[in-house]
Amino acid sequence: MSKIHYTKPSIGALEVDYATDAAKHGWGAHCYDYLHRFEKLFREHLGVSYAHATSSCTGALHLGMAALGIQTGDEVILGDINWIASAAPITYLGAKPVFVDVLEDTWCLDPEKVEQAITPQTKAILAVHVYGNLCEMDALLDIGKRHNIPVIEDAAEAIGSQWNGKRAGSLGRFGTFSFHGTKTVTTGEGGMLTTEDPELYEQVTTLNNHGRVKGEKRQFWPEMIGFKYRLSNLQAAIGCAQIERIDELIAGKRRIFAFYREHLRELPLAMNPEKIGTINGFWMPTIVVDKKIPFDRDALIADFQADHIDGRVFFWPLSMLPMFEECRQNKVSYGLYSRAINLPSYHDLTEEQMSRVVAHIRRRVEVGT
């Protein structure tokens, strides 16, 4: 039986051509050509005014929050169901991640819980679009406006997702993306910060150039302590090819989700939602088995393993991790992970391979047992 990975990138002739060209010619006067082209293509795709490429999404979040002035003693609110990369940059700045409960259907921030968690120390609301599912952006932006707190979007998992016609990552004060090898669009490692705010963009650019301000005449004269989270021209070359193919890459993810959805339709489980007015990029097709059904997640993962299929566990609540304070009151978050699993979803999966995955799920999730 062939191995079924849970993700792997879609790299074709275009990526190889551009990377080869960058390796041959992308030096000296041309050392930023692909980088600038990548940023331009990404701006156009997302429909935003400014995009700044970074070496990771973690770095983009760190830079963006530093540019907002977040510092020691501040608080940033985010959902308890998340990957650590969304929370870690908050701690790099000495601020505290405040984990609130998520909604049962989207696994993203519950706006009511966000509003209850606001204190005078709250400096940002971090809306992470988990597995491609969209946060309730209208409610969150309204809360942000009423309390004068910026809403920022971690759209690392939401390439292809749209909220009332606007792409995820283009709605908040800034958005961040990841081009890690597991994401819908990849450069190996990489990230992006997007915004409509020219001042924020300038500040991010300065910070990411070790604090050297644009237009400074003196060489090697930083104005402040900055960072160095820049994407290389070589990686950007692969990124350019990926963005030229982005519709195909998103369509691939949606095709895979549609197959699973269709073939798991009558089972007692929920999958990534696509609410009215939204489009889901379906980065990671996920099942959450109904509470009333006895379900052994680890047994399903063992079945997968025995059949050479990568099973990926749903995110643990971040507040369960040893470095944070436990938040058992986040009942939805604590009730999700043992019932949930991510399904393999790379672009080239065949129907035969997906059918193999489906068969294992069917065996474990018996209707009404």
Ligand X SMILES: *Cc1c(COP(=O)(O)O)cnc(C)c1O
Judged by the rule CB under 6 A, the positions of this chain that interact with ligand X are: 56-58, 83, 85-86, 128, 154, 156-157, 178, 180, 191
CB of 84 to ligand X, least distance (A): 8
Q: How far is the CB of 85 from ligand X (least distance, A)?
A: 3
Name which of 58 and 195 has its Cβ closer to ligand X: 58
Nearer to ligand X, 80 or 154 (CB): 154
Q: How far is the CB of 55 from ligand X (least distance, A)?
A: 8
Question: Between 170 and 353, whose beta carbon lies closer to ligand X?
Answer: 170
Q: Minimal CA–CA distance to 82: which of 66, 98, 64, 60?
A: 98
Q: Is the CB of 39 or the CB of 154 nearer to ligand X?
A: 154
> What's 4's DSSP letter?
B
Helix (H, G, I), strand (E, B) or coil at 240: helix
Which residues share a beta bridge with 163?
Answer: 166, 278
Evaluated on CA atoms 64, 273, 79, 336, the torsion sign reads negative
Nearest distance, CB of residue 208 and ligand X, angstroms: 14
Strand partners, 238: none
Nearest distance from residue 263's CB to ligand X, in Å?
26
Q: What is the DSSP letter of 213?
A: P
Angstrom CA distances, 205 to 151, 211, 223, stand at 20, 8, 13
Count the neighbouring beta carbons within 10 Å of the beta carbon of residue 351: 12
One-letter amino acid for residue 349 of the chain: L
C-beta closer to ligand X: residue 107 or 295: 107
User: Which ranges of 47-190 would DSSP assign to H, the alpha helix?
Assistant: 57-67, 84-92, 111-117, 137-147
| Residue 190 CB, nearest approach to ligand X (Å) | 7
Closer Cβ to ligand X, 181 or 222, answer by number: 181
The angle at the Cα of 250, spanning 45 to 158, to the nearest 5 degrees, equals: 70
